[in-house]
Amino acid sequence: RGQAQPPQWKDPAPSAPYRLVCSSVIGIDVAALPAEVKTIGVPVHEPFIVGRQHQSGFFEGLLGSEPRYLTIVGRAHVEIAPIPGDSATFKVTNLSSNPIVMDQQRFNKGQHGFMRPPTSIQFIASKTADA
């Protein structure tokens, strides 16, 4: 028998007012993928965690052809929390030992910054140059 397939991604918040959309993956033409497999809805009323454990099947679906890169994305990698009284600003905290880059600024574990859409969050490897 073959390996077990990861669960197929289904966004639990497809009508959320803000979305995380994957725009780049090494070795994949993301533009050719349907929106539903590369999009995560972001709730605006409560903190939201992004990672392999919380979006089961999302990262596996995107990185299936490059599974070595799955280790770059933590089980609970980033917390995105709305700022009370400002529904368009979010506090983004890196929960992972692998850094993130947000608006060209690097954030290590425990560090945070603030974002207003549109912006970008990049998952990067902490020790390898090819990831």
109 belongs to a structural domain: yes
Q: Is residue 4 part of a domain?
A: no
Number of domains making up the chain: 1
Within a domain: 73: yes
Examine the pLDDT at 91 and tell me if it is beyond 60.
yes
DSSP per-residue string spanning 18-48 = EEEE---BTTB-GGGS-GGGSEEEE-SSS-E
Q: How far apart are CA 94 and CA 41, in angstroms?
A: 19
In a domain? residue 8: no
d(CA 65, CA 26): 9
For position 119, which CATH number holds? 2.60.200.20
pLDDT tens per residue, range 62-78: 988 677 888 899 999 99
Mind listing the pLDDT tens digit for each residue in 31-57?
Answer: 999 999 999 999 888 999 999 999 999
Residue 91 lies in a domain: yes
Domain membership of residue 114 as a residue range: 18-123
The answer as to whether 128 is a domain residue is no
Query: What pLDDT digit, counting tens, does each position of 117-130 carry?
Result: 999 999 987 664 44
Quote the pLDDT of residue 122: 94
State pTM to two decimals. Answer: 0.86
Instruction: Name the amino acid, one letter, at 2.
Output: G
In a domain, 112, yes or no: yes
Q: Is residue 7 part of a domain?
A: no
